[in-house]
Amino acid sequence: MKKYLLLALSLICLGALLVSGCGSKPSDNKNLQAVTVGVMPDIDSVPIIIAQEKGYFAEEGLTVNIQQFKSAMDRDAALQSGNLDGAISDLLAVAFAKSGGFDVKVTAYTDGDYKLIAGKNENVSSARDLVGKDVAVSKNTIIEYVTDQISASQSMKEDSINKVVIPQIPTRLEMLQNGKLAAATLPEPMGSIAVANGCKFITDSEQLGIKPGVMMFTAKCVNDKKAELQAFYRAYNKAVKYLNGHPQDEYMDLIIEKSGFPGIAKTALKLPKYREAGLPQEKDVVDCMKWMNTKGLIKQEFSYNDLVVDLLK
């Protein structure tokens, strides 16, 4: 009889442990606040979309609201108006916000790529062949920064090409494909789509070792939602593991549906090997700040520690 009583008590205790979740993270995180992030139609957004659609955020007990933007200007306006906690962005946008008195922090790098693409009818084999021609950029953004870095790598003067300002990425792509521009600098997947439609790849940020893409959050969010952001990056890393461990064909339809990528991205785009969340290199920050100071875009000389915070420990 004693044996049966002990067995019954053991089963009851086991059942209680199972119901309580044995201290699992989702149970511990049941009081997490929601996080709202802005994304652009580029490959940086893919791990976040996968984390959402595969339920990795939910596994961490976190609600993430994703808002889509077509231009950096609209994204930054939403961030500063308080409609976003954070966004896929770049070091330039971070410095601009901070210079303007709006405190934001870089919390991780992203894996975007920015391509200089020439029109299909252009006789172009290198950036130097674009001297005196119209090249579309978005002004004072990562796109212009990469374009200038490409020019500098070819010993070209900054004003040697005619920069045409076209903020919206889909419009930039359309004008390039319609022969209204000699070239354009485009984020992925738009660069690969342009090439698939007959345009010509010249070079990209990957070849130059330029990595200014980041994820940023407001300082208020960093201070008030530290546990939420740590949960965010745990889910992000699960998405990275999924992306790197599965064939692209398995999830491209989902990515196209949720990101707004054109359908041709399914065959035109080769996604990178994504990295788990980590902090940008100091050189990437220093180079960006130097460019901004040289152009007079900001007066302050921000250091690495001014801009970057480590929540990933």
Of 12-16, 197-201, 213-217, 255-259, the range with the lowest mean pLDDT is 12-16
pLDDT tens digit sequence for 261-287: 889 999 999 999 999 999 999 999 999
Say if strands 114-118 and 200-204 run parallel, antiparallel, or are unpaired: antiparallel
Residue 117 pLDDT level (bands cut at 50, 70, 90): very high
pLDDT tens track for 52-65: 999 999 999 999 99
The Cβ of residue 41 has, within 10 Å, a number of other Cβ atoms equal to 23
CATH of the domain at 269: 3.40.190.10
- Residue at a domain's end among 176, 208, 240: 208
Last residue of a domain, one of 192, 208, 224: 208
In a domain, 313, yes or no: no
Same domain flag for 118 and 202? yes
Question: How many helices (H) does the chain have, and how many strands (E)?
Answer: 16, 10
Helices of type H across 41-82: 46-53, 56-59, 72-80
Q: What is the arithmetic mean of pLDDT over 187-208?
A: 94
97 and 236 assigned to the same domain:
yes
Q: With a cut of 70, say whether residue 26 has pLDDT above it.
A: no
State the Cα angle at 93 between 91 and 96, rounded to 5°: 110
If asked whether residues 243 and 261 sit together in one domain, one would say yes
pLDDT tops 80 at residue 28: no
Cα gap 303→282, rounded to integer Å = 9
Let me know whether 154 and 286 are in one domain.
Answer: no
Q: Which domain holds residue 133?
A: 114-208
Preceding peptide of 189 cis, ω within 30°: yes
Residue 175 has pLDDT above 90, yes or no: yes
**6 in any annotated domain:** no
Count up the domains in the chain and report the number.
2
The structure's pTM equals 0.84
Q: Which of 208, 238, 254 is the last residue of a domain?
A: 208
Residue 48 lies in a domain: yes
Q: Is residue 14 part of a domain?
A: no
pLDDT digits (tens, 9 = 90+) for 230-246: 999 999 999 999 999 99
For the chain, give the mean pLDDT: 89
Residue 201 and residue 142 share a domain: yes
Q: Are residues 58 and 75 in the same domain?
A: yes
Name the CA radius of gyration of the chain, rounded.
23
At 67-76, the pLDDT tens digits run 999 888 899 9
Sheet of 114-118: strand order equals 162-165, 134-137, 183-187, 114-118, 200-204
Better-scored residue on pLDDT, 3 or 50: 50
My answer on whether 137 and 253 are in the same domain is: no
Does 129 reside within a domain? Answer: yes
312: pLDDT strictly greater than 90: no
